[in-house]
Amino acid sequence: MSIRHVVRPPSCEPGAPDPRSATGPPLRWGVVATGHIARTVTEQLLQLEDAVLQAVSSRSEQSARAFADAFGATAAYADLGDEPGYLRLADDPDVQVVYVATPHAHHHRVARVLLEAGKHVLLEKSFTVTAAEADDLIGLARERGCFLMEAVWTRFLPVYHQLLERLEQGAIGVPRWVQADLGMAVAFDPASRLWAREAGGGALLDLAVYPLTWALAALGMPSEVRAVAEQAENGVDALTTLALRHAAGAHAQVLTSLVSHATSTVTIAGSEGVIRTLAPLPNPPGFDLTRDGEEQRVRIESTAPRYAYQLREVSRCLHEGLLESPTMPLADTLALMRLLDAARAQIGVRYPNDEVATAA
């Protein structure tokens, strides 16, 4: 399965309206979790003309109520004893679609409850911890007739599709190798989401989806994956490097790190030229294209905040009755999770989610 030819969403077509413009009647959203990413995405969600925040859930009553007050949610659900707040959010008949922003390790459990309740789901990346969990959710979504999508927002940005268009037009000939890196220096704290083993912490699951998004778009899925890593004292990966072999002898090198900064760029080298994205890698403002010794800098202006594009895609798909996004199909998500499984097997990183899958 190749991810080379990515379907361009309507919001990135030339002359498309601002992605915050409505594509149908208002949709009533729920949000699970109240952390930084949940707040940022919700701020941009509410800029869509056809989005209403119906409910939020959190482990604590204080957090749920503060979030609801800040963003105008009608309902706030918190954990009651052993009952998680998201169970009651799933039972809310006024919630149509839910954005899940919990740590990776909870994605499968939360999304499964929501899908069982008939809710459409936008699930943060990484989609799950294991490919088995991803496969289970995909099967359940199709069984229940629910929309499901991984929140790889980079795939919906105009700059991403402009770069892919250049590749498909042969601007650098045949792509032969890709280098992509993403990193940050974060003090080790086993209680932090980034590092906690029980939360699915580590560089690979938290960061690799971004550089891999570009590498797989340029070269397709690899035929061979080799991974090496440095582990933190609690067994999660602190720094991981992937070497990928693709069809016709193309190669990619991807680095993710929680112990060092990185260039946060992508280089795609072809038989007739090179493209280098500007930093930061998840949301570059443009790219440099070099061919025949001449360099051209291409700047791409976005008309809306970065998360608005993927949120518009969710709304558009629901308004049109689609159960998955043509731009971020579930087959791509499952293929990537299998790639991450293979990499983790080589570097020896296991999580409690792996033990549950083994027991099942």
Looking at the chain, which residues constitute the CATH 3.40.50.720 domain(s)?
10-153+310-325
pLDDT at 357: 58
158-301+336-359: CATH superfamily: Dihydrodipicolinate Reductase; domain 2 (3.30.360.10)
CB 268 within 8 Å of CB 167? yes
The position carrying tokens 């397709």 is 220
Core vs surface per residue 104-130: b (16+ CB within 10 A) or e: bbbbbebbbbbbebebbbbbbbbbbbb
What are 60-118's pLDDT values in tens digits? 999 999 999 999 999 999 999 889 999 999 999 999 999 999 999 999 999 999 999 99
Describe the chain by its helix, strand, coil percentages, rounded to 5.
35, 25, 40
pLDDT at 1: 30
10-153+310-325: CATH superfamily: NAD(P)-binding Rossmann-like Domain (3.40.50.720)
Distance from chain centroid for Cα 8: 17
What are 148-188's pLDDT values in tens digits? 999 999 999 999 999 999 999 999 999 999 999 999 999 99
Distance between CA atoms of 260 and 254, rounded to whole angstroms?
A: 14
For 284, the 3-state DSSP assignment is coil
Write the CA distances from 233 to 188, 190, 196, 355, integer angstroms: 9, 9, 11, 20
Q: Which residues contact 197 (CB under 8 A, 6 or more apart)?
A: 190, 234, 235, 236, 351, 352
Phi-psi region of 39 (alpha: psi -120 to 50; beta: other; left: phi over 0): alpha
What are 228-254's pLDDT values in tens digits? 999 999 999 999 999 999 988 999 999
Distance between CA atoms of 254 and 244, rounded to whole angstroms?
A: 8
Looking at the chain, which residues constitute the CATH 3.30.360.10 domain(s)?
158-301+336-359
Cβ-based burial of 88 (10 A; exposed 0-12, middle 13-18, buried ≥19):
middle
